[in-house]
Amino acid sequence: MNIVLDHSDARPLPVQICASIRSLVAEGLLEPGEKLPSTRILAEQLGVSRGTIVTAFDQLIAEGYLVARHGSGTHINPALTPKPLHPHNHPLPAPPEQPLNELTPGLPDTRGLVTPEWRAAWRDAAANPTDLFSPLGLEALRREISHHLRHMRGFSIDPSRIVVTAGARDGMELFLKTQPSNLTVGVESPGYPSLRQIPTALGHTLVDIPTDGDGLTLPTTHVDAVIATPSHQYPYGTSMSATRRTELVAWARDNERWLIEDDFDSELRYLGQPLPALASLDPEHTILLGTFSSVISPSIGCGYVVFPASLMPRVEQIRDIFRCPVSSITQQALATYLASGALRRHTGRVRRSYRRRRDLVTNSFQGIPDVTLLPINGGLHAVLLCRDPESLRARARRRGVGLTLLADYWGGAHADEGIVLGFGHLSDSELEEALGIIAEELKNTP
């Protein structure tokens, strides 16, 4: 860091250090999010006491230029927008906007993830990397996924039908590559917009299919495949009834159609046991898309597909060409982590935390007129029906809380008026503060 101290300057050394770091940020030499040297190392470089650096850092943290992250050091505030210095003017960067508590739906809590089992799995995988694995995925990981499905979903499946993917989108793309061109794919409306982008990007046609209290309704027009979230319909949160599951499976079997089951957070159920997968009811017409994003983290970039046996020869041909997109180190680490039983223990811990935060959400909106909170039986989000949700979002944002409109989801033009609240990734105190702001704004809705 290019910091020059002038001992003849009347300003105290911490003040000079603060001024130098502000200038480096303004000039773009220190970028938002960049990590700074430790106070000990910087003190040695500048020839001053560590206390002098600590004092300067504390001042810059108070001003919003720096943020201290427990366990990862001190960084330039990612929210800063530096302004380049003009040759004849030296403005300081604009202070950061008030940081938002984004109630983003679907984000998990990753704070308790880094346990000794987690560290050991990654350390061992990095120390002993191997590229000798099947294009379908590391055999050890596919076996562990099979065990995971048996323990968590009550679904027994041969590992030979499991393919490791980079997530649900990659799994969806892989399935579509096994099919002829120009399929007609039915999607839930409203529904999660992520997967629906894949068919259109590959030249297929989408048809929206409405949902009701029992989940996805049966298609009334021709479709070759349907994408469904039977365990936890997105965003309303309902589970497909047993009757509707039976009807949908019979429809697929009788018409030789595909069911694409998006099993994105079935492990995070708060009432009763996880519901049976459609793939267990009809394994020859169902493609199950699984992911570790909800129970571990989206950044892991790993999931899986359970394919019907009839599609496996074509899947193997495709993977022989394109190979598996997930690194061998990631696959080895996950295989070790799952084999240790740590994922089941982690899932149990976070499920208790999520249940507690679900109760915070439920208690926050009781007794507010013209507001309906839909039942939260699982997952990491809640749907709150209310009047004028756009105004509510704008008012909450001004107070530092980011919200998602129900209308933002696929088919949202026909959806109810409301907002979708993600409660998984915030701490209890952060969530409680954000919910209090939303409740206040709801009470003040004209």
Question: How would DSSP label each residue in 230-264?
Answer: SSS-TTT-----HHHHHHHHHHHHHHT-EEEEEES
Q: What's the pLDDT at 86?
A: 45
CA–CA separation, 404 and 211 (whole Å): 20
CA–CA separation, 117 and 105 (whole Å): 28
* 382: three-class secondary structure by DSSP: strand
Q: What's the pLDDT at 89?
A: 45
Q: Give the sign of the dihedral formed by CA 86, CA 89, CA 90, CA 96.
A: negative
Distances (CA, A) of 315 to 49, 310, 331: 62, 10, 19
Q: Backbone phi, then psi, for 90, in 5-degree steps?
A: -130, 65
379 Rama class: left (phi>0) / alpha (psi -120 to 50) / beta: left
CB neighbour class for 18 (10 Å; exposed up to 12, middle 13-18, buried from 19): buried
Residues in the chain predicted with pLDDT less than 50, given as ranges, are: 85-96
Q: What's the pLDDT at 415?
A: 63
Tell me how crowded residue 365 is: count the other CB atoms within 10 A of its CB: 19
**Angle at the Cα of 342 from the Cα atoms of 341 and 347, rounded to 5 degrees:** 105
How much is the pTM? 0.75
